[in-house]
């Protein structure tokens, strides 16, 4: 028997929506959560694909997340939209606020969206990619839980704090990157733990502050930032911009809020959308060509662009109308259906 199970794309969607609704999310939340996992699975981004259904179900079972929360969207200034997720998952709030963010960025050149009071589990690239599909450059940031030690430190203070960026390209998929500011995303460490695989050196320390390659010990100790003090500084910036700046929790505060319950982190998110035409004084077309020359110079050297792997995976998975997930995960997911 194969170690993997193959699912048709529609089957994957149905499995995810059924599990979410069986466990207390309403249809709107189940759809918006599934959209993002579907996108991740389709692009072979496994750490934030169907695997994350486990975290969503654990979160709602802990009894504090509202699976029926209706987000409140506020026009908070010429260039500011605020979305209160009202203790629901972030994704429905994002979906509801996105049209206003796009409109404000196109009108004023730049606009920001603050999402507050949300549980958050997802990859950020689908969010910035959507803004670039609307012709905007975009940045998104979130804290998580205090699993990551600052450079030179010995215990978790920072989150895995992803940073996502996207740039619109005419007639092409956007240029996008999205990565944790820790060496590994927590989801990736979890996949190593589940597979019983050793982590590479330099990813984590154990609870006594000693280097470890044991994924379980890493989860009980602390993860390390990428690029030493540089990743650490970026991570602190994300704590500030997606925390105090928008009146929401830092990763440490989010972890305290969880009181040890196995929930998705609870905090805020910031998205910044920029209109290339207004910012360049109406010269977006000429400047697009310059951006394309930059990409071409990178590709000419045999290097690849971030997001290139994803777009190839997307095309392949869409063509064969199927994705694969580990059999162990599939069997675990089936137990979540009621
Ligand atoms: P990776 O280390 O896998 O890096 C991802 C980014 O780097 C992608 O844009 C990827 O492009 C690009 N990339 C990878 N290899 C290369 C290469 N050789 N050349 C050029 N570009 C490359 O990501 P992480 O494991 O750090 O993060 C995974 C996901 O976890 C992210 O989507 C992030 O949002 C999510 N996350 C979410 C958190 C949350 O709190 N919600 C917390 C932390 C992480 P490509 O995709 O094409 O390979
Ligand atoms: O992979 O670090 C992570 C993560 C945290 C919250 C959601 N994903």
CA distance 49 to 63: 23
> Which one of the ligands is nearest to 298 CA?
1
- What is the structure's pLDDT at 158? 98
pLDDT of residue 138: 98
Kindly indicate the confidence band of residue 242, based on its pLDDT and cuts at 50, 70 and 90: very high
Neighbours of 57 (CB within 10 A): 19
- Ligand 2 atom nearest to CA at 190: 1
Nearest CA to ligand 1 atom 4: 179
Residue nearest to atom 3 of ligand 2 (CA): 186
69 in the Ramachandran plot: left (φ > 0), alpha (ψ -120 to 50) or beta? beta
Q: Is 251 a catalytic residue?
A: no
With cut-offs at 50, 70 and 90, classify the pLDDT of residue 34. Answer: very high
pLDDT digits (tens, 9 = 90+) for 191-233: 899 899 999 999 999 999 999 999 999 999 999 999 999 999 9
Question: What pLDDT is recorded for position 241?
Answer: 98
Task: Give the residues surrounding ligand 2 with Cβ less than 6 Å away.
Answer: 47, 121, 144, 160, 180, 185-187, 265
Catalytic-labelled residue, pool 127, 188, 190, 269: 188
What sign results for the dihedral spanned by CA atoms 13, 15, 18, 24? negative
Ligand 2: distance of its center to the CA of 8 in Å? 26
> How would DSSP label each residue in 72-135?
EEEEEETTEEEEE-TTSBHHHHHHHHHHHHHHHHHHHSEEEEEEEEEE----SHHHHHHHHHTT
pTM of the complete model: 0.96
Mean pLDDT score across all residues of the chain: 97
How far apart are the CA of 191 and the centre of ligand 2, in A? 12
Judged against a pLDDT cut of 90, whether residue 181 lies above it is answered with yes
pLDDT digits over 43-70, tens only? 999 989 999 999 999 999 999 999 999 9
- Going by pLDDT thresholds of 50, 70 and 90, the confidence category of residue 262 is confident
- The pLDDT assigned to 89 comes to 98
Examine the pLDDT at 73 and tell me if it is beyond 90. Answer: yes
User: Domains (ranges, CATH) in the chain?
Assistant: 1-61+307-338 (1.10.1530.10), 71-182+225-306 (3.30.1370.60)
**Residues across the chain:** 338
Question: In a 3-state reduction of DSSP, which class is residue 51?
Answer: helix
Q: What angle do CA 67, 238, 115 make, to 5 degrees?
A: 30
Where are the alpha helices (H) located in the chain, listed in sequence order? 9-22, 27-42, 53-61, 90-108, 125-133, 186-195, 215-220, 229-241, 251-258, 276-279, 284-300, 308-320, 327-334
Question: Residue 12 pLDDT more than 90?
Answer: yes
In eight-state DSSP terms, residue 324 is E
Instruction: Verify whether residue 201 is a known catalytic residue.
Output: no
Asked whether the CA dihedral 25, 26, 31, 32 is positive or negative, the reply is negative
**Which of 156, 178, 182 most suits a substitution to test ligand 1, by most atoms within 8 Å of the C-beta?**
178
16 part of the active site: no
Q: What pLDDT is attached to residue 1?
A: 81
CA 284 to chain centre: 28
- What pLDDT does residue 256 have? 97
Cα–Cα distance between 269 and 135 in angstroms, integer? Answer: 21
Assess contact for 139 and 271: CB atoms under 8 A.
yes
In whole angstroms, what is the distance from residue 230 CA to residue 182 CA? Answer: 11
Strands 172-179 and 163-169: antiparallel
Closest by CA to 274, choosing from 284, 264, 263, 266, is: 284
- pLDDT confidence bin for 2, thresholds 50/70/90: confident
Distance between CA atoms of 172 and 113, rounded to whole angstroms?
26
Taking CA atoms only, the protein residue closest to ligand 2 atom 6 is 121
Nearest-angstrom CA–CA distance, 223 and 159? 9
What is the average pLDDT across 7-20? 98
Say which of 47, 62, 79, 280 is annotated catalytic. 47
């Amino acid at each position: 028997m194969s170690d993997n199970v193959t699912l048709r794309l529609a089957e994957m969607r149905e499995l995810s929506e059924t599990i979410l609704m069986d466990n207390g999310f309403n249809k709107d939340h189940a759809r918006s959560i599934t959209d993002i996992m579907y996108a991740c699975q389709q692009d072979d981004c496994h750490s934030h694909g169907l695997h994350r259904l486990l975290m969503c179900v654990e979160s709602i079972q802990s009894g504090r997340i509202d699976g029926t929360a209706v987000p409140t969207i506020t026009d908070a200034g010429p260039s500011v939209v605020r979305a209160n997720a009202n203790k629901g998952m972030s994704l429905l709030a994002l979906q509801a606020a996105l049209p206003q963010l796009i409109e404000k960025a196109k009108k004023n050149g730049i606009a920001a969206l603050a999402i507050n009071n949300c549980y958050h589990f997802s990859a950020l690239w689908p969010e910035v990619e959507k803004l670039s599909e609307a012709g905007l450059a975009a940045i998104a940031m979130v804290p998580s839980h205090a699993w990551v030690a600052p450079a030179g430190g010995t215990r978790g203070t920072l989150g895995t704090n992803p940073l996502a960026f996207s740039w619109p390209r005419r007639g092409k998929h956007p240029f996008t990157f999205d990565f944790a500011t820790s060496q590994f995303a927590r989801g990736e460490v979890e996949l190593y733990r589940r597979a019983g695989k050793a982590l590479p050196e330099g990813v984590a320390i154990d609870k006594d502050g000693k280097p470890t390659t044991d994924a379980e010990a890493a989860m009980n100790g602390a993860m390390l930032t990428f690029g030493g003090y540089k990743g650490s500084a970026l991570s602190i910036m994300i704590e500030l911009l997606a925390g105090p700046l928008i009146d929401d929790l830092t990763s440490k505060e989010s972890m305290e809020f969880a009181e040890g319950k196995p929930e998705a982190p609870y905090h805020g998110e910031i998205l910044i959308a920029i209109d290339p035409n207004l910012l360049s004084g109406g010269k977006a077309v000429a400047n697009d060509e310059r951006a394309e020359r930059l990409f071409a110079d990178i590709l000419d050297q045999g290097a690849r662009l971030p997001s290139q792997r994803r777009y190839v995976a997307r095309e392949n998975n869409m063509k064969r109308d199927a994705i694969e997930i580990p059999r162990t995960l599939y069997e675990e997911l089936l137990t979540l259906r009621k």
